[in-house]
A and B are shown apart, each in its own frame.
Chain A
Amino acid sequence: MNDHIEDYFNQDLPPPERVQFEEDLRRNPQLQEEVAFYLKTKQVLREQTLAERHAEWQKLSDDEEVATTAPVRRLTWWQYASAALLVLAMGLGWIWLSGTKQVSQSTLAQSVDQYIGQEFETVTMASEPDSLEMAKVYYNENRLDDALAVSQGLLKRNANNAAALEVAGIAAQRQQKYDLAIGYFQRLAAVPDLYINPGNFYQATVYLKRGEPSDLKKARELLQKVASNASASQKQKAQAKEWLDALNEIKE
């Protein structure tokens, strides 16, 4: 095969050699056939590459789909019993803790309010309207019930929809439905393979806002996780450290 063909198409031939190559191409049918073969091979390789990459990408998409629609495992009777006991113990613990001392945390709560006011005021939207975007529109219009309802609809179809969990959690938090918000943020924190997962950080904001004794301990643990997480957002890490400092100053 003529060595100049590739250099010609890469535009690496010096002008005199380029002119000579084009002249040869006009007169030499053999060279024309070689050029045609070179380009045809490129075309076939491109098609094969497309077929292979397309199959690979489809598989990646399918795997994600499978992961989000995995069947629910049925629990045995003793697992139900253990869960019931755990819930009972947590309830008793909460009653005991709430009946004891009330930690002064008004400064911290104000800081959280300020953060929520600044950061959760509006959500950024993509340009394409879909259900998630509708939830964001409702949120931005302060129609929090509607935002929550649309997000919940999305979560029925895909329980691991991270963006829907995020909007649902924030909307619930704004409505002071703290238990609901914590539930969504816990699920968000458990979503695998997110580039940046803010689930723990958001949970901490709810605990800080609710401000009960056991909440502050949980908030501290979560904020420590955020502060030491290399892949957490820098802004949230900095905020987590600030709140941890504030928590340390609160007298038990």
Chain B
Amino acid sequence: MKLLQKFPPDPNIIQGIRAGGTARRLHENQLYGKYAYLIGEGTRKHRLSEDDSSIAYSDAVLTVIEHICADRFEGRSELKTYLFQIFNNKCVDLTRRNTTKKAQIHQADGLSDYLNLLPDDTRTAVQQLMHQQDAQLLGQRLQELGEKCRQMLLAWGEGYKDEDIAQQMSYQSAAVVKTSRLRCLQRLRELYLNGR
């Protein structure tokens, strides 16, 4: 018997996320809801608190969404297996962070991928500069940017492509979005440097 389907099949969810536009958010929520029972796994297996396990799960879902959008999820494993592996790693990261109290070892997903692109002899210097930069102040300055700039940067941070941002925010083209976005980044940097 085919069991009750509260959520659509995985291929539909993947397709919906890749399609972008307004459907993307709906399918992202479906992905979150479909496997939310894994949160219990985090509390049982990794002995995390409910809150920690829940945030590790949200983090894992966000990572899977990013991978789907960037075509890094190639469908070699089932979506559930893929999500579970990432969630497991997030739980291990969180446990390690909680026990060592070293927040800096917990780097946002994708950041290490970017750092690995840098030549070996520059990576450490860039990492050190990043550690010196004040994330809290940067977050505050982000709030001080105009609403449009902030929205655009957040959408970019969420992995939306410039084409999608253009569609959502009624810009003429992806190229215009890119130019505006880089200008917003520059304005954010000036705000940050002036306020430091």
Contact = CB atoms under 8 A, between A and B. Distances in A.
B1 A170 contact: yes
Nearest to B139: A44
A56 to B, nearest CB: 8
A48 B157 contact: yes
Given A58-B54, A60-B29, A170-B1, A42 B41 contact: no
B153 A45 contact: yes
B130 A1 contact: no
Interface string B152-180: 01101110000000000000000000100
B154 A166 contact: no
B97 interface: no
8 contacts: A39-B114, A42-B110, A42-B114, A48-B139, A49-B154, A50-B59, A122-B1, A162-B4
B156 to A, nearest CB: 7
A39 B111 contact: yes
Given A42-B108, A124-B1, 11 more contacts: A6-B178, A9-B114, A32-B122, A37-B189, A42-B114, A43-B107, A46-B111, A57-B61, A60-B32, A124-B2, A196-B4
Contacts of B154: 45, 48-49, 52
A194 B126 contact: no
A129 B129 CA distance: 47
A152 B138 CA distance: 53
Interface in A11-46: 11, 22, 25-26, 32-46
A39 B115 contact: yes
Q: Nearest 3 pairs between A and B by C-beta? A: A45-B157, A36-B129, A54-B58
Contacts of B28: 53
A45 B150 CA distance: 10
A: interface residue count bin: 35 or more
A187 to B, nearest CB: 13
A50 B111 CA distance: 14
B108 to A, nearest CB: 4
B180 to A, nearest CB: 13
Contacts of B74: none
Contacts of A3: 182
Contacts of A142: none
Contacts of B130: 36, 39-40, 43
B118 interface: yes
Nearest to A119: B1
A61 interface: yes
Interface string A114-129: 0000011111100010
A163 interface: yes
Contacts of B189: 1, 34, 37, 41
B105 interface: no
